[in-house]
Amino acid sequence: MRIPRHALTRSGLALLLGAATGCSGSAPPRAQWLVFVGTDAPVPALGQQLLVELLDPNGSVQLPSSSRFLDASHPTAWPLSFGIVPDPAETTTRVRVRLYRLDQTGSDGLPAGASLLDATATLPSPSGVTRVGLSLRMACFGVASDPAAKRTCDPATGALALEPTLQPGVETLPTVGSWPDASPVPCRAAAPDGMACLAGGAFLLGTQQFFPEGPATEPVPQHLVVLDRFALDTAEVTVGQVRSLVQAGGVPPPTTRDAAATGTVRVEECTYLGSGDGSNDAAPANCIPWSSAALVCEAMGKRLPTEAEWEYAARNLGEQTPYPWGNDSNVCGHAVVARGVGVFVDPTECEPTAGPVAPGPVAGGSALDTTALGIRNLGGNVSEWTADFFAPYSASCWSGGDPLVDPSCQTPSNAHAVRGGSWQSDVNDASSTARQDPANDNASEAIGFRCALSM
């Protein structure tokens, strides 16, 4: 007999990770259920871990040991399966399964928030090895079960209904990634020079794991988002690009370094030196208000990216990495951030040990602050304007659909949303999901931009 590697017992009740079978020619196997779980969700984009729990008649987990976490991150491993040996003292056995991303866990290790697939079911009376199937369908994404009331999501309606009793025999389970909106939308043509085309697809906007900097900017609640394909500049818009448009009379000039000091812009760190001075053309353009940034993109036949597009690029599409360069939390080693000019003025965590560096953004930024598609400096150098007005993710402009399709918050507010870290910001702003709420749309020495293009 093959012995499962893990077994949880309670008065004869066991949750077995793996199929339990009898040997050929031996006595019949003991009564048990073999549960197969299938999903149409894209994996690992919307699910990396499956939590399996055995419930008592009241809907509570029978014991802390009556649960198991299964690695669900490999599409080829689906459908997942596990065995359950019944307790003779129990008249019914119930099971709950939840599929979620690892960045959606709370401090207790359990799923936090509503961005998951959740199903409960009652198991039938077992006879030998009784095989049953349980589906987790995207029609129920974000609909939490109510185990105490024995209600779980019905994929036919997307609403809670009476918990089903599974029938013997494995139903036709969905195939991983078969949810229609999970299919990538490939680019129809090559992106223009200096841009990368991002295939459309589904992802989770926001995260449960963030550094708290105020309730308005917290990247929760998360939203399921579907985006069409689009192209994005691989580099921040430079002084040279803006200067050529200023010379042509198409856009107003940014604030220059020799301009009169104001209360909102530290002009000594502005990168634009005037329409006739090209010595700083390779530097990213900063000290430019939102309206002028939008005009620059428009003059180049492009537009500012939406917040959702910006985050999709920074999270490496369906990979949904915490930083534009991946998973490495060594922000100082990858991005131009936290290189302020004074101990009490700006963060200085990333200043070299040899001493302070010149304040301001760096021409070319950091070669290590690069996504898999070659999009550079989303994590640092200058923060970036987006097309969206800023609003908390709980605001009405972030509602109205599940999933949200190509969302953009256009409900007027004090200012447009800013994304990404800058030479002047702290390291937390380099996160792919971090949001900034500027006080206004005015120019700032810490803010630049890049452009997008619908494909």
Spell out the per-residue pLDDT of the chain, length 455, in tens. 222 333 333 333 456 544 444 445 566 667 899 999 999 999 999 999 999 999 988 998 877 778 999 999 999 999 999 999 887 777 789 999 999 999 998 888 899 989 999 999 999 998 889 999 999 999 999 999 999 999 999 999 999 999 999 999 887 899 999 999 998 899 988 999 999 999 999 999 999 888 888 889 999 999 999 999 999 999 999 999 999 999 999 899 999 988 776 667 888 999 999 999 999 999 999 999 999 999 999 999 999 999 999 999 999 999 999 999 999 999 999 999 998 776 666 788 898 877 778 889 999 999 999 999 999 999 999 999 999 999 999 999 999 888 999 999 999 999 999 999 999 999 999 999 999 999 999 999 999 999 999 99
Do residues 449 and 285 lie in contact, with contact meaning Cβ atoms separated by under 8 Å? yes
For 137-191, what is each residue's pLDDT tens digit?
Answer: 999 999 999 999 999 999 999 999 999 999 998 878 999 999 999 988 999 889 9
Q: What is the pLDDT of residue 10?
A: 33
Nearest to 306 by CA among 185, 208, 404: 404
What CATH number was assigned to the domain covering residues 7-162?
2.60.40
Q: What is the pLDDT of residue 261?
A: 67
Q: What is the pLDDT of residue 12?
A: 36
Report the DSSP beta bridge partners of residue 418: 385, 436
Percentages of the chain per state (helix, strand, coil), in multiples of 5:
15, 25, 60
Q: What is the pLDDT of residue 213?
A: 82
CATH superfamily, with its number, for domain 184-455:
paralog of FGE (formylglycine-generating enzyme) (3.90.1580.10)
Backbone phi, psi, residue 135, to 5°: -105, 140
Q: What is the pLDDT of residue 214?
A: 84
Q: Which residues contact 397 (CB under 8 A, 6 or more apart)?
A: 389, 391, 407, 409, 410, 411
- Eight-class DSSP state of 326: B
Q: What is the pLDDT of residue 169?
A: 87
pTM of the model: 0.90
Task: Work out the number of other CB atoms within 10 angstroms of the CB of residue 23.
Answer: 9
- HSE, side-chain direction, 13 A CA sphere, residue 93: 26
d(CA 282, CA 362): 9
CA angle 273, 277, 281 (to 5 degrees): 75
Q: What is the pLDDT of residue 14?
A: 54
Q: What is the pLDDT of residue 140?
A: 97
Distance of CA 453 to the CA centre of its chain: 22
Q: What is the pLDDT of residue 28?
A: 66
Q: What is the pLDDT of residue 18?
A: 43
d(CA 361, CA 284): 7
Report the DSSP beta bridge partners of residue 435: 419
Q: What is the pLDDT of residue 343?
A: 61
Do residues 379 and 331 lie in contact, with contact meaning Cβ atoms separated by under 8 Å? yes
d(CA 255, CA 258): 8
Domain boundaries, the chain: 7-162, 184-455
Q: What is the pLDDT of residue 210?
A: 85
Separation in Å, CA 63 to CA 56, 150, 163, 397: 9, 19, 21, 42
Nearest to 47 by CA among 174, 154, 147: 174
